[in-house]
Amino acid sequence: MTRRVVLVGLLLAALGLPAAAQEARVYDLEVIVFEHLDGHDPEPPAKRRPELAGAIELRRPAAAGEDESGVVVHALEEAAVSAERPVIPLGGDDYRLDRVAARLQRGRDYRVLLHAAWRQRLVPEAAAPRIRLHGGEDLRARVEAAAAESEHPWAARGALDLPAGPVEELDGTLSVRLSRYLHVDTDLVFRDIARREITESGYTLQLPFVRDHALRQSRRMRSEKLHYLDHPRFGLLIEAFPVEQEDGDS
């Protein structure tokens, strides 16, 4: 056993990392995603939708112990993060960026799509769980209604191109990992409705369709500093707050 401890210490020293750096750390992570109301994306629509399988869902249908937004409200004393449960959504009283979100919402140039916060246990160099972020309007009804305005059978094409289930303006995943520094990785899309021209059997139609704008970035982060990930159509603010751990929690 002693030899194994010595060997691990030597390996960590060779990597230039102190032994304590390999211990799990806990952070409160808070995210605000917002639309640029006057934004224009010169890039073509994204062809790949975010991979949602296996992502952790922060929102659930309203039930006992949950607030009106669907975010689970946990008493952190009763449900601490652990290796078995590395992510816990935070309740509204634990949000720190409410003033930032309010300023964005009051402005004429922005519209807040999502404001979420959670506590997460991070292990250096370990694979980070992907957190699903989604919100905004469900666009399905608007696309289907616009398609129904035309009696031509091809008008349903725009609606048929929609993915199954709700088609929210914001959808995708975000992950925060820990190595020498904190890193955030996003795989998000913002959706809006556009029209495309289709000519079929002598008919020319302007069909509605949902257009995806992708925000796929990887960024190094510093704790207790607000970071901004930008896209012409929407933006993301994220901040990580270290949480003091009690002995034995790592």
Q: DSSP readout, 96-157?
A: S-HHHHHHHHHSSSEEEEEEEEEEEEE-TTSPPPPEE--EEEE-HHHHHHHHHT--SGGGGH
Q: Cα–chain-centroid distance for residue 70?
A: 16
Say if residues 194 and 217 touch (Cβ distance below 8 Å).
Answer: no
Are 55 and 130 in contact by the 8 Å Cβ rule? The answer is yes
Give the phi and the psi of residue 37 in degrees, each rounded to 5. -65, -25
pLDDT at 11: 43
Distance in angstroms (rounded) separating the CA atoms of residues 136 and 231: 17
Helix (H) or strand (E) holding 64: none
pLDDT computed for residue 59 by the predictor: 59
pLDDT of residue 29: 97
- Name beta bridge partners: 12: none
Amino acid type, 107: G
- Domains: count for the chain: 1
User: From CA 131, how far away is CA 124, in angstroms rounded?
Assistant: 18
Q: Is residue 16 part of a domain?
A: no
Strand-by-strand arrangement of the 25-36 sheet: 87-89, 110-122, 25-36, 234-243, 227-230
Examine residue 175 and state whether it is found in any structural domain, yes or no: yes
13: in domain: no
In a domain, 7, yes or no: no
Structure token pair of residue 118: 């959670």
**How does pLDDT run along the chain (250 residues), one tens digit per residue?**
445 444 444 444 444 444 444 688 999 999 999 999 998 888 777 778 899 999 999 854 344 444 444 444 444 444 588 888 899 999 888 999 999 999 999 999 999 999 999 999 999 988 899 999 999 999 988 887 777 776 666 556 555 567 778 899 999 999 999 998 999 999 999 999 887 777 777 777 777 788 899 999 999 999 999 999 999 999 999 999 999 866 545 5
Residue 184, helix vs strand vs coil? strand
The answer to whether position 183 is within a domain reads yes
| Structure tokens, 220 | 């190094």
Query: How many angstroms separate the CA atoms of 175 and 162, rounded?
Result: 26
pLDDT value of position 20: 43
Structure confidence at residue 118 (pLDDT)? 96
Give the separation between CA 140 and CA 137, rounded to whole angstroms.
9
Considering the domain boundaries, does residue 95 fall inside one?
A: yes
Domain of residue 101 covers 22-243
Where b means 16+ CB within 10 Å and e means fewer, 28-66 reads: bbbbbbbbbeebebeeeebeeebeeeebeebbeeeeeeb
Instruction: Please check whether residue 36 lies inside any domain of the structure.
Output: yes
Burial class (CB in 10 A: 0-12, 13-18, 19+), 115: buried
DSSP state of 19: G
**Is 127 inside any structural domain?**
yes
Note the pTM of the prediction, 2 decimals.
Answer: 0.80
